[in-house]
Structure 1
Amino acid sequence: MEHSTGAVNWQPHNLAKAPGELLRESLGHVARGSEGAMFFQWRASRAGAGKWHSAMLPHAGTDSRIWREVMELGSALANLGPVASSTVDTDVAVVFDYASGWAAEAPAQPSADLTTFNEVRRWYGALWRAGITADFAPPGGDLSRYRLVLVPALYLVSDADAANLVSYVDSGGTVLVGPYSGIVDENDQVRPGGYPGAFRDLLGVRIEEYHPLLPGEFAKLSGGSAGTVWRELGRSTGAEVLESYVDGPVAGSPAVTRNGRAWYVSTRLDEPSLDRLVGQVCAAAGVTAVLTGAPDGLEAVRRRHPDGTAYLFLINHAGTAATVAGTGTDLLSGAYVAGEVSVPAGGVVVLRDSTEEE
C-alpha cells in the first residue's frame, strides 16, 4: 500500500503527520489486507515538482523524526512476518465502482452535492465508528461470503451487475442501497419506468421525481432522522416504510424502507442518522463489531490464516490509553498478555490469538 511518510505536496495546505502517525497508518493498512508498506519517495528531491513531498529519507537526513519512524516501521513489519498471506475477517462489503462514480460526476446532474466518492467515504465511516471491518467489492464480484453488502451510491450499473446484487439477496444476503442508485445503464442511459431503475423491484419502491435540497436545508423524517442534499418523491410498491418525509413537496413519501432483506434510503442522512441506520441494518444481518464496547478511537481488525491462526490488530488513534479484553502474544513487543490488553495513546498492539498458543 503506497502512501507518504509525512506531508504531501498536492493539497492547498500540506500538513505534516503527527508523531506516531506513520506507524499507525502503515499498520492500519496491513491490518486491512496490505502485505507491507510502500512510500513515495525514497529520498526527498532537491528540485522539481516533488521537492516538497515527504520521503523516507528527508532533507534533514538520518538525524530526523521521519527517519527514526521509518526505521521503527521496518522493525515492526519484520516482527509481523507471520501475518503475511492471511486474510481479513469481515462479513461486510461496500460496493464501489469507479465508472459509476465518474458518470455521476458528469455535468448537469440534479445536484452537485450528492457525489459518489463522498458517499462511499461517509458510509465506510459509519462502519468504522461502529467497529465493523469491511471490504470493498465491485458490483459484479462474488458477494457470497458477506452477510451484508452496502451500496452507498451506484448511479451507473449494468444489467449483469444489477442481477448479481439481486441474486445475492435471493441467496440470503442483506443489502442497503443509497439514493441515486441503479439509475442508468453502462452506457449512461436512463432506465425508464421510475427510479431506482435497476433496483426498483428488489427494493419495492418506485420513485418518480427528485427534489434536491439547497445547502443548509434539511429534510425531517418521521423517525427522528434528518436528511440533507437530497429527497425523492415516490411510494412503496411492497416495501415496509420505516421512515417517511414529514414536510415539503415530498411529505409522506418513503425515506427509509425495507423489502425483506433489501433496505433503501432515499436521502443523504446526516451522520448521526446514518450511524443509526447502518447499526440497525448490521443488527438485522447478524453483523457485529470486532470488539464489543471498544472505546472511541480504538481501531480493531482481525486477520486469519486458513488453519485458524488469527491476529488482532489494535490501533489507538486517541490521546489516551485504551484497555480491552484480549489474551495472546503481542508480535510487536513479544510480551504475553492475559485477560486484558492496554494499548498506549497513539500506539499499536498486534495480538496472536491465545487459542493458537495453548
Structure 2
Amino acid sequence: MFDIRRFGGVIYGADYNPEQWPREVWAEDVRLMNEAGVNLVSLGIFSWAQLERAEGDFDFGWLDEVMDLLHAGGVDVNLATATASPPPWFSLKYPDSRPVTVDGVRLEVGGRQGYCPGHPALREGVARLTRAVATRYAGHPALKLWHINNEYGCHIDQCFCEHCARRFRAWLEARYVTVAALNDAWGTAFWSQRYTDWAEIQPPRRAPTYANPTQQLDWRRFSSDNILELHTLERGILTEVTPDVPATTNFLGFLPGLDYFRWAQEEDVVSLDAYPDPGQPDSHLEAGMVFDLTRSLGGGNRWILMEQATSAVNWRTRNAPKAPGQMRMLNHLALAKGASGIMFFQWRASKAGAEKFHSGLVQHVGPQRSRVWREVTDFGAELRGLTPLLDARVPARVAVMFDWHNWWALNIDSKPGVLPLLPLLGRWYAALRTLGQNVDFVAPGSDLEGYDVVVLPNLYLMDDATGADLRAFTERGGHLIAGYFTGVVDSREHVHLGGYGGPLRDVLGLWVEEWDVLLPGQTNTVTLNGQTVTVTDWCDVLHLDGAEAVATYGERFYAGQAAVTRRATGQGQAWYVGTELPADTLRNVLRSVLDGAGVPHTDLPVTLDLSVSQLPDGSQILHLLSADPQVTQRVQIPAGGHFFPARPGGDEVGTQVDLAPFSVTLIHYPGPVDVSGVKVGGAAATRVTASADLPGA
C-alpha cells in the first residue's frame, strides 16, 4: 500500500534535469526549490546516455552528487530507471532495435522512445541499467519513489518488426492453444484466410484492403501486453533490490494503445501526465475526465499528478499559456478528484532541445521577473494547509463504463460509420458534471455494488458476462443508461445475432434492426416531453420489446419510432439513447435517470466545477472552482459550512459565495453535502479582468 505520509504532506515538485545545466546551477536550483515549497523531484528520466556511456560502462558520479545535494537541501527524489530512450550508441550497435511502423519503415535515431519493446538486446539493456541504478541507490536517504521508464506508448505503442511478429505468434498460441481455435475466433472462413500453422500468421501490417478485424483487435491486446512485459521486467528488479520503495510509471489518461485498467494492477500508486489545452473553454472538463479516470484506475485511491505545464506547452500548433490563476484552479481540480501530489514538467525551462519552449517553474526570464514563478511559489505555500485532503476519498454514486478493448474494436475499419469514442464520452461526462455528479470510471467486470447509476455512452464490444453483470445491477435496483451502437459484437468482434443490442436486449427491452448513419448536413428530429430537437450523426432504428418510448423520431423512414426508451427491470430501470442528442437534451435525460435513482443533482453552467470529497470522520468538503476567465459567479450553497482551511477572522461561510475568475473555494461540512442546494445566479455575475491575486481558499 502506498503511504503518502512518507512525503510529509502533499507532494509538490517537478521533473529535474540537472544534466542539462552546469554544476554551478545545481545549488541555486535546490535553494529555489525550498523557496517554492518543492519536496519531491523526478530525477534521471532521460539520462541513459549520461549513465551508461558504452555497454556496461557506467558513470554515476554526477548523479551521486545531485542526489546528495537534494537530500542535504531537504528535497526527496522520485528516481527514474532512466530507460525511456536508448542512447545513440545502442541503436548503432543494435540497428534492428529501432521500431518498425505498419508500413515497414524502421524509425531513425534523433527523437525519443526509439525502441522496439520486444527486442532481446533492448530488454537485456533495460534490465542491466535498472539493476545498476537500483543497486547504486538502494540505501540513499533521498530515494522515496521509483519512476519506471516514462510515458510508455506515448510515441510507439505498436512495433511491426520481426521480433514482435514472433512474440505475437507466441502470445496467440498461449491464448488459443490450437490454430483451429484461432481460425474460429478470427472467422478466417471469410476471404480465404484459414491458417494451418502458427508461422503463417503476421502482424496486421499494411495490406491490400481491410485486415481481419479480430486479428487487428488481438494485435492491439498483444501490443499493450508486449510493452507491459517491458515494464514488469523493470518492476521485478526494483522489487527484488528495494522491496520497501514504491514504484510507479506515468500514465497518459485516455492513451489509445495501453489498457490502463490492466497496467494499474502493476503500480504501487497510479500517476498521470496531463496537458489540457488552456486555450479551450472546456479544458477543465477535459482535465477532470482524465483525473477521474486516473483515480478510478487506482481503485479510488489517491494518485499523483506527475506532469503538467506551469503555463504553455511547445507541441501544439498554437500554444496558449495558462492565464493567471488557471494553473492553480486546475490543480485544485486534481486535488478535488483525489490527487495526493502536484508535479510539473519541468523544473527549469530548457535552453536547448525540442522542448525548450515548454514552460517550467523557472522560466527563461528567471524567477524574479516571472509571473509563473510567483504563482507556483504561492501555490506551494498554500498546499501546506491542505494536508488533511490526503485522507479524503471521492464518493461517487455514478459510474461510467469504459473499456480499452471496446475502444480498439470501435476503431477497427469497416464499420457502418465513424464513431469517435472520446468526444462521445466527453459529452456524456460533461452532462453528468454539470448535474453536479462525482464520476467513477469502471471497466467491464468491475464490482458495481455501491453505484446507483451506471452509464454506458458506448459499449460496442460486449460479452455475455458483462451483459449478465448489468442485468444483475438493474434487477437489484440499479439504474442503467446506454448509448447507441452498444452491444453489437462479442469479445472476438463477432456480431451478436438476432437483433443488435446482444446481451442487453432483454434488459433494455428492445432490439436494433439497423443504423441510419447521417451524412454531413443531414439531420433528423426527436420529440421528448413535447419539445422537438434536431439530432445528427447517428440514429439507431429501434423496435420495442418491453420498453416504452420516451422520445420518438420525427423524420426519415423510421419516423414515429422510438429514439429514447425506458424499461423497468427488476427493482431498477434501463434506459437507451439511440441517437446523438443535443447537449441540453442529453442532460435532461440523464437528470431523469438520476431522479429515478434518487441521486441528488443540480444544474450548473459549464464554467463552474463542483466536486465533493469525504474525510475519514464522515465530514465532507465541497470544492467550488470557477473556470470562467472573466465573470464573477455568485453561488448559493447549503448552510452550515465553514471555509477550508479556516480563514483568519472567521471561517463561517453563510449561504452564498462569490467566485472570481479562476478562483477556488473549499467549504467543510460536518456531514454529507446536498449538491441540489448548490445554485448559480445573482447580482455578482459581473465581467472583470483576471489578475494574479485571486480570492479563494
TM-score by length of 1: 0.92
- Provide the C-alpha distance between the structure 1 equivalents of 2:603 and 2:406, rounded to a whole number of angstroms: 36
Stretch moving more, 266-275 or 214-223: 214-223
Q: Give the Å deviation of 1:340.
A: 2.6
Matched residue, 1:340:
655
Summarize the alignment of residues 42-191 of structure 1 with structure 2, pairs less than 5 Å apart.
42-62=347-367, 63-112=369-418, 114-191=419-496
Instruction: Choose which of 325, 334, 343 in structure 2 pairs with 1:20.
Output: 325
State the secondary structure of the residue aligned to 2:321: coil
Stretch moving more, 250-259 or 118-127: 250-259
Which structure has the bigger radius of gyration? Answer: 2
State the secondary structure of the residue aligned to 1:47: coil
Report if aligned partners of 1:101, 1:115 keep a CA contact under 8 Å in 2: no
- Provide the C-alpha distance between the structure 1 equivalents of 2:332 and 2:598, rounded to a whole number of angstroms: 28
Stretch moving more, 42-51 or 140-149: 42-51
User: What amino acid is aligned across from residue 524 of structure 2 in structure 1?
Assistant: A
Instruction: Choose which of 597, 610, 631 in structure 2 pairs with 1:285.
Output: 597
Q: Give the Å deviation of 1:256.
A: 0.3
- Provide the C-alpha distance between the structure 2 equivalents of 1:301 and 1:330, rounded to a whole number of angstroms: 14
Report if aligned partners of 1:162, 1:198 keep a CA contact under 8 Å in 2: yes
Matched residue, 2:567:
259
Query: What 5-or-longer segments of structure 1 have no aligned partner?
Result: none
State the secondary structure of the residue aligned to 1:198: helix
Per-residue displacement from partner, 1:258-290 (whole Å, max 9, x unpaired)?
01100001101111211211112111111223x
State the secondary structure of the residue aligned to 1:36: strand
State the secondary structure of the residue aligned to 2:557: helix
* Larger RCO: 1 or 2 (CA < 8 Å, sep 6+): 1
Q: Give the Å deviation of 1:228.
A: 1.3
User: Is 1:236 aligned to residue 544 of structure 2?
Assistant: yes
- Provide the C-alpha distance between the structure 2 equivalents of 1:294 and 1:108, rounded to a whole number of angstroms: 40
Matched residue, 1:317:
627
Per-residue displacement from partner, 1:31-83 (whole Å, max 9, x unpaired)?
11222222222222222222222222222221311121111222222211011
Q: Give the Å deviation of 1:182.
A: 1.3
- Provide the C-alpha distance between the structure 2 equivalents of 1:163 and 1:60, rounded to a whole number of angstroms: 60
User: What amino acid is aligned across from residue 235 of structure 1 in structure 2?
Assistant: H
Distance 1:280 1:355, change over 3 A: closer
- Provide the C-alpha distance between the structure 1 equivalents of 2:365 and 2:445, rounded to a whole number of angstroms: 48
Q: Give the Å deviation of 1:295.
A: 6.3
Report if aligned partners of 1:316, 1:322 keep a CA contact under 8 Å in 2: no
State the secondary structure of the residue aligned to 1:80: helix
Identity level (%): 36
Q: Give the Å deviation of 1:293.
A: 6.5
Distance 1:131 1:277, change over 3 A: same
State the secondary structure of the residue aligned to 2:425: helix
- Provide the C-alpha distance between the structure 2 equivalents of 1:293 and 1:239, rounded to a whole number of angstroms: 28
Report if aligned partners of 2:550, 2:566 keep a CA contact under 8 Å in 1: yes
Instruction: Choose which of 614, 632, 644 in structure 2 pairs with 1:330.
Output: 644
State the secondary structure of the residue aligned to 2:441: strand
Matched residue, 2:196:
none
Query: What 5-or-longer segments of structure 2 have no aligned partner?
Result: 1-304, 673-697
Q: Give the Å deviation of 1:343.
A: 3.7
Report if aligned partners of 1:79, 1:332 keep a CA contact under 8 Å in 2: no
Q: Give the Å deviation of 1:301.
A: 1.3
State the secondary structure of the residue aligned to 2:542: strand
- Provide the C-alpha distance between the structure 1 equivalents of 2:647 and 2:370, rounded to a whole number of angstroms: 23
Distance 1:190 1:11, change over 3 A: farther
Instruction: Choose which of 666, 686, 689 in structure 2 pairs with 1:350.
Output: 666
Matched residue, 2:135:
none
State the secondary structure of the residue aligned to 2:518: coil
Matched residue, 2:56:
none
User: What amino acid is aligned across from residue 576 of structure 2 in structure 1?
Assistant: Y
- Provide the C-alpha distance between the structure 2 equivalents of 1:73 and 1:147, rounded to a whole number of angstroms: 37
Q: State the Cα RMSD in Å.
A: 2.0
Relative to its length, the structure with more helix (as a share) is 2
TM-score by length of 2: 0.49
User: What amino acid is aligned across from residue 665 of structure 2 in structure 1?
Assistant: V
- Provide the C-alpha distance between the structure 2 equivalents of 1:214 and 1:332, rounded to a whole number of angstroms: 56
Count of residue pairs brought into register by the alignment: 353
Distance 1:278 1:226, change over 3 A: farther
User: What amino acid is aligned across from residue 439 of structure 2 in structure 1?
Assistant: A
User: What amino acid is aligned across from residue 276 of structure 1 in structure 2?
Assistant: N
